[in-house]
Amino acid sequence: MDHIVITGGNRLQGEVPISGAKNSALPILASTILGGGECVITNLPRVVDVLTMGKLLGMLGATVVHEGNRAVIKADAIHSTEAPYDLVKTMRASVLVLGPLLARWGEAKVSLPGGCAIGSRPVNLHLAGLAKLGADISIEHGYITATAKRLKGARIYCDTPTVTGTENLMMAASLAEGTTVIENAAKEPEINDLSEFLCRRGARIAGAGTDILTIEGVQELQGGDHDVIPDRIEAGTHLVAGAITRGDVTITNCRPAHLEALLMKLREAGADIQAGHDRVRIRVTGRLKGTDIRTLPFPGFPTDMQAQMVAVMALAEGTSVVTETVFESRFMHVEELRRMGADIRVEGNRLIVTGRPTLTGAPVMASDLRASAGLILAGLAAEGTTEVQRVYHLDRGYERIEEKLRAVGAVIERRKARTSPTMR
């Protein structure tokens, strides 16, 4: 297994171009099977999850031609309605094919995702919503099986705003008979992006970006083109790389409006931030100040930036309280940061972070995608060498992260796994 080795202590300086959003690309790709005709998707990030979704669509029978940041997909016919366990266990977002398969092809069999390093992640709201639309749903042998002749529009209330749940229901309702209203819908920018793509192909969706979505079902969707929005979490991660190294970093090709909560917190901590139309510059000269953070659904502070900000707070002056409200046990990075000298106490869903003047490099283990990013950021600022193991998590969601960091002055490299002499 590859690992990443970082020599900390270098101030980052320069421009980092931001790639397309993984969390937008995945539902957009899944939605291509909702209609016939050609879909051309650009600004796709070159990350493992996007490749996995392409593979899944191919397994279902779609024609997928994926080159670099562009994919051309045609799903005039499919030959399977099953997303198998072997694939779903590597990427939970595979569940995003459930709504489209059911709505267009009348049946879907999708493996239940199972456990996850950041806590229990049920799909009960996806299933309850689809049942409201008239689907027959059962769970047997680890698989969700859903069938429906044609879905029928309904009023759906989500107990919790769920991002992929809202996306699944929005896709399914697009082909249902009549009108669907989704209340307490998720408002993340990725929902808007999917809605725009679906509407361009003939769907009728109003309210994306608010907590009430109204979808008038249509008979069919056509093909269409779409340029995926920039990745706000990748953008945030590189801004934090600038902050934690007391550097001067400008991220380009981003949407500052999607970063508001993070920018406010970084400003509160003492960073100098200038936001332009599609770029943000961050400059930090002295030690940052501790700041309390509470993760929330958009437009609140994103849970996907929590681990990265904990790394910053571990080096800030004073004490910060970080409250995680979205996922129940998203603190796997804490033990690893402690190995680097961080002073962090866990109290239920809160972290009490007492900033230290320095962290020291250490071998650490990544547990999930964003925790890996948090450890890399800590390594950039720590004294000495940090070796981050299990970086396959990172490859699921960050395009060329070492290359992008190296280009602004980080000393970071990927090393191939050493083979143990006792192993053959």
Contact 414, 402 (CB under 8 A): yes
Site residues for ligand UD1, 318-347, by CB under 6 A, read 326-327
Question: Hey, is 183 helix, strand or coil?
Answer: strand
Single-letter amino acid, residue 188: E
**Considering the rule CB under 6 A, would residue 164 count as an interface residue with ligand UD1?**
yes
From the list 134, 212, 214, the residue with the least C-alpha distance to 179 is 214
Site residues for ligand UD1, 257-316, by CB under 6 A, read 303-304
Q: Which of 3, 74, 104, 126 binds ligand UD1 (CB under 6 A)?
A: 126
**Considering the rule CB under 6 A, would residue 124 count as an interface residue with ligand UD1?**
yes
Site residues for ligand UD1, 8-27, by CB under 6 A, read 23, 26
Q: Which of 52, 145, 162, 372 binds ligand UD1 (CB under 6 A)?
A: 162
Whole-number minimum distance, CB 16 to ligand UD1, in Å?
A: 20
Contact 352, 330 (CB under 8 A): no
Contact 123, 88 (CB under 8 A): no
Whole-number minimum distance, CB 320 to ligand UD1, in Å?
A: 21
Q: Which of 75, 88, 125, 344 binds ligand UD1 (CB under 6 A)?
A: 125
Site residues for ligand UD1, 345-384, by CB under 6 A, read none
Q: Which of 116, 158, 199, 254 is catalytic?
A: 116
Whole-number minimum distance, CB 23 to ligand UD1, in Å?
A: 4
From the list 206, 153, 199, the residue with the least C-alpha distance to 178 is 153
Whole-number minimum distance, CB 391 to ligand UD1, in Å?
A: 18
Which string of b and e fits 338-376 if b means at least 16 CB within 10 Å? bbbbbebeeeebbbebebbeebebbebbbbbbbbbbbbb
Contact 113, 95 (CB under 8 A): yes
Question: Hey, is 210 helix, strand or coil?
Answer: strand
Which of 7-15, 59-67, 147-155, 161-169 is the region at the interface with ligand UD1 (rule: CB under 6 A)?
A: 161-169
Single-letter amino acid, residue 268: E
Between 291 and 349, CB nearer to ligand UD1: 349
**Considering the rule CB under 6 A, would residue 111 count as an interface residue with ligand UD1?**
no
**Considering the rule CB under 6 A, would residue 250 count as an interface residue with ligand UD1?**
no
Whole-number minimum distance, CB 22 to ligand UD1, in Å?
A: 7
Site residues for ligand UD1, 186-205, by CB under 6 A, read 186, 190
CA 357 centroid distance within chain = 31
**Considering the rule CB under 6 A, would residue 235 count as an interface residue with ligand UD1?**
no
Q: Please list, in sequence order, all residues whose beta carbon lies within 8 angstroms of the beta carbon of residue 308, skipping any fewer than 6 positions away.
A: 236, 237, 240, 370, 373, 374, 377
Q: CA 292 → CA 118, 135, 306, 323, 391, distances in Å? A: 21, 44, 11, 8, 29
Between 82 and 234, CB nearer to ligand UD1: 234
Does residue 299 have a cis peptide bond before it, meaning omega lies within 30 degrees of 0? yes
Whole-number minimum distance, CB 364 to ligand UD1, in Å?
A: 21
**Considering the rule CB under 6 A, would residue 123 count as an interface residue with ligand UD1?**
yes
Residues touching ligand UD1, count (CB under 6 A): 20
Q: CA 121 → CA 164, 247, 305, 308, 330, distances in Å? A: 11, 37, 18, 21, 11
Whole-number minimum distance, CB 93 to ligand UD1, in Å?
A: 4
From the list 144, 135, 145, 201, the residue with the least C-alpha distance to 174 is 201
Which neighbouring-strand residues pair with 214? 181, 206
**Considering the rule CB under 6 A, would residue 236 count as an interface residue with ligand UD1?**
no
Between 100 and 361, CB nearer to ligand UD1: 100
Between 65 and 116, CB nearer to ligand UD1: 116
Between 164 and 174, CB nearer to ligand UD1: 164
116 is catalytic: yes
d(CA 126, CA 96): 10
Site of interaction with ligand UD1 (CB under 6 A): 23, 26, 93, 121-126, 160, 162-165, 186, 190, 303-304, 326-327
Catalytic positions, written as ranges: 116
